[in-house]
Chain A
Amino acid sequence: EDQVTQSPEALRLQEGESSSLNCSYTVSGLRGLFWYRQDPGKGPEFLFTLYSAGEEKEKERLKATLTKKESFLHITAPKPEDSATYLCAVQATVSGNTGKLIFGQGTTLQVKP
């Protein structure tokens, strides 16, 4: 069964304290792995797509990496405005599972000034 597990569930950082969020996945053929940011009561905001092992993407203080079994979202010198829930999702290539994103439970990040 295709599934996504994110850890930790919650993370508290001081402003400027770098860290990483983990996303472990099992999928029958990976079409893509996606990272989103979600603020309370709002829709998820697209951050990155990773397609193959070894790929990396960067945006401001965020960097996403991908291996064959997991992805990491590295946050460098975070600021309070980076506080949000970060969601990881995969999309499979297997017929019957196409189209849909399978989401992890998310990591809720709080950055204190």
Chain B
Amino acid sequence: EAGVTQSPTHLIKTRGQQATLRCSPISGHTSVYWYQQALGLGLQFLLWYDEGEERNRGNFPPRFSGRQFPNYSSELNVNALELEDSALYLCASSNSLTSRWEQYFGPGTRLTVT
């Protein structure tokens, strides 16, 4: 069974630009989650999408946004990039139809803002 995939692996942007990160969940999973892992800060919850709807949002500014497509893949957009947005962005998926709630993570996208 294929795991969660993310693209690109690395992304280098300059301050003020926009970044788009993509995620494909495990087949059969309908929920997608986004997390930010900045150096020294641990994993912080960004967004949760299920069945195409945003279900929950972490304490991040509105320039962090995303969407989920009909095939359950997801996109994270970060506008007006700031230096502190440099981090590993992790996508996870889960099967919301079960009661097990485990989230399975992808390899991440390393975003560097210069």
Contact = CB atoms under 8 A, between A and B. Distances in A.
Interface of A: 31-32, 34, 36, 41-46, 49, 87, 89, 91, 96-106
B68 to A, nearest CB: 13
Contacts of A102: 45
B58 to A, nearest CB: 6
Contacts of B110: 41
Given A42-B107, A42-B108, A44-B90, A100 B102 contact: no
Contact of A91 (B35, B101, B104): B101
B69 to A, nearest CB: 18
Interface string B24-36: 0000000101010
A32 to B, nearest CB: 5
Contacts of B107: 42-43
The 3 A-B pairs at the shortest CB distance, nearest first, are namely A100-B45, A43-B105, A99-B48
Interface of B: 4, 31, 33, 35, 42-45, 48, 50, 55-56, 58, 88, 90, 100-108, 110
A88 B11 CA distance: 28
A46 B102 CA distance: 8
A32 B108 CA distance: 24
Contacts of A100: 33, 45, 48, 56, 58
B57 to A, nearest CB: 9
Contact of B101 (A31, A103, A105): A31
Contacts of A49: 100-102
A98 B102 contact: no
Contact of A34 (B4, B31, B88, B102): B102
Contacts of A41: 88, 108, 110
B42 A99 contact: no
A29 to B, nearest CB: 13
A98 B102 CA distance: 13
B103 A104 contact: no
